[in-house]
Amino acid sequence: MSLDHPTGRQPDHPVAPEFPARWSPRSFTARAVTEAEVMSLLEAARWAPSASNHQPWRLVWARRGEAEFAAIRDTLTGNNPIWAGKAAVLFAVASKDTVTNRTGAEVANRTAGFDSGAAWMSLALQAKTMGLFAHAMGGFDGDALASAIALPVGHTLHCVVAAGEQGPAETLPEDLRARERPSGRKPVDETARHGRF
């Protein structure tokens, strides 16, 4: 794993500093985010690429203190609600499953999840440029989250993303405190091959 120091990631190949600088902390300060800041995060997601420019991502957001925030938080599982409940904003990230083809029929959008993944990463990188961090969670109760956000039929939930200003690790419960450090990565040759698998 490439990780020279707990507070700094060392890439194996030259890369823009934004990539290793983004990570997923669990400790957030009490700083709220403004609606304008949320719009900037959503604007970054908006410019993600997508197949035929269908833009299948759908994000439902709420800020800490709002009833809708608590409703999303309460669908998180494991440790997630403990730390993510202190984030400034939560986003439920879903995709619209179908697109309308040239004959007017609704057909499956095979790349919807891929495109929504690009949108989440755009949001996460934008957060970093604003002095914020974003942390995705697959640990949620899908039925509960669908109900909490009134997810329409024909949509698939992917993640809940918590975002806010990073706080000190000391504020986390002990088990999470020990994990509050940027992780490393497999070397590129474990995940990419030249020409053939």
Ligand X SMILES: Cc1cc2nc3c(=O)[nH]c(=O)nc-3n(C[C@H](O)[C@H](O)[C@H](O)COP(=O)(O)O)c2cc1C
Residues at the interface with ligand X (CB under 6 A) = 23-24, 80, 136-139, 159, 182-183
Shortest Å, Cβ 121 to ligand X: 9
CA 140-59-109 angle, to 5 degrees, is: 95
CB of 146 to ligand X, least distance (A): 17
What would the two tokens of residue 103 be? 């004959």
Q: What does the chain come to in residues?
A: 197
Q: Nearest 5 degrees, angle CA 3-CA 5-CA 9?
A: 45
Here the tokens at position 70 are 């608590």
Of 138 and 187, which CB lies nearer to ligand X in the complex structure? 138
Closer of 11 and 182 to ligand X (Cβ): 182
Q: Of all residues in this chain, which one has the CB nearest to ligand X in the complex?
A: 139
Smallest separation (angstroms) from ligand X to the CB of 193: 22
Residue closer to ligand X, measured from CB, 90 or 101:
90
Token duo for residue 62: 């709420």
CB 88 within 8 A of CB 63: yes
Min dist. Cβ of residue 68 to ligand X (A): 20
